[in-house]
Amino acid sequence: MSLINPLSGNTSPLSNQSSPSQVQSNTAGSTNNQISQNNPVLDPMRLQDGKTVPEQKGQELTQADFFALLTQQLSMQDPFKPVENDQMIAQMASFSTVDGISKLNQEILNLNSTMTSSQALQASGLVGQKVLIPSGTGHVSTEEQNIKGVVTSPKPIDEITVRVEDDKGQLVTTFKVDGSKGGNIDFNWDGLNSKGEPVAQGNYTFKASGRVDGESQELAVSTYAHVTSVSLGTAATGAVLNLRGIGGVKLSDVLAVAES
């Protein structure tokens, strides 16, 4: 029998064994950890461990999706009743048609964009010019006091009366225009009111009337406006002309172009 020196630092084999109280506490701790890890009440409040929400795919079917469906259909068909050749050709033709329409739509969009840019480039030559627009509103500015326009008469009229109103609808002045030739009749307002005084800067509306077949009738009036710039617009509107004091008007609505 060997003796154990109490000063040697060696411990007895029993010292490595855990006491019953320690074993019980460890068991309780592990049980509590398992409960806390599997607690349905706490689980929704835990942070997700690196999980991300998958990105949603587009709702449109591509040609690859069609071929995947076709492959699945062929794999699930009855070997004793296979798909007829004409049905297979019809499906393949449908796939090609859908893909062709998609490409055609893209080409049309590209063509519209190119045409819009080309139209705006051509319209840029109108900057600084005057264009006739189907509107009875003209603009008086410090650069130009008078306003030119056109009255359209369906028949020759001896005398046409033109009323000039301000932006509040108040009468500024009236003047007469010879309508004996009929059709499109030019007029020029000098920018003076009924007292012969220059009017203030702003927009003014022209209303023309005359007797047609013995009855008073309102006549269409168009005015000239100064083009200050050109905007590209969209494929639906095309190039847009920006007019001084008036705003934007589509290039397709311009009736005529005159010198500045």
pLDDT in tens, 124-152: 888 989 999 999 999 999 888 999 999 99
Collapsing DSSP to helix, strand or coil, 21 comes out as: helix
Band (197; pLDDT cuts 50, 70, 90): very high
Torsion sign over Cα 225, 231, 232, 236 = negative
Assess contact for 244 and 228: CB atoms under 8 A.
yes
Band (158; pLDDT cuts 50, 70, 90): confident
- In percent, the amount of the chain with pLDDT more than 70 equals 64
Band (208; pLDDT cuts 50, 70, 90): very high
Assess contact for 240 and 224: CB atoms under 8 A.
no
Band (12; pLDDT cuts 50, 70, 90): very low
Residues spanned by the domain of 156: 127-258
Give the CATH number for residue 222.
2.60.40.4070
- Say if 26 falls within a structural domain: no
Arithmetic mean of pLDDT over the chain? 76
Q: What is the pLDDT of residue 219?
A: 94
Compute the distance between CA of residue 189 and CA of residue 150 in angstroms, rounded to an integer.
Answer: 11
Q: Enter the tokens of residue 59.
A: 């709702």
Query: Tokens 């020759």 identify what position?
Result: 156
- Say if 249 falls within a structural domain: yes
Q: What is the pLDDT of residue 61?
A: 61
In the predicted model, is pLDDT for residue 204 greater than 90?
A: yes
Q: What is the pLDDT of residue 227?
A: 93
Provide the domain count of the chain: 1
Per-residue pLDDT reduced to its tens digit, 52-69: 555 555 556 666 776 677
Compute the distance between CA of residue 136 and CA of residue 128 in angstroms, rounded to an integer.
Answer: 21
Query: Tokens 């055609």 identify what position?
Result: 104
- Say if 8 falls within a structural domain: no
Compute the distance between CA of residue 80 and CA of residue 121 in angstroms, rounded to an integer.
Answer: 66
Q: Residues 6 or more apart from 112 whose CB is under 8 A from it?
A: 235
In the predicted model, is pLDDT for residue 229 greater than 70?
A: yes
- Say if 29 falls within a structural domain: no
Band (260; pLDDT cuts 50, 70, 90): low
- Say if 91 falls within a structural domain: no
- Say if 46 falls within a structural domain: no
Q: Judge residue 42's burial from the number of C-beta atoms within 10 Å of its C-beta, 0-12 exposed, 13-18 middle, 19 or more buried.
A: exposed
pTM flag (> 0.85): no
Q: What is the pLDDT of residue 38?
A: 55
- In percent, the amount of the chain with pLDDT more than 90 equals 35
Assess contact for 243 and 230: CB atoms under 8 A.
no
Compute the distance between CA of residue 183 and CA of residue 189 in angstroms, rounded to an integer.
Answer: 19
Report for 28-37, 202-211, 236-245: range of highest mean pLDDT: 202-211
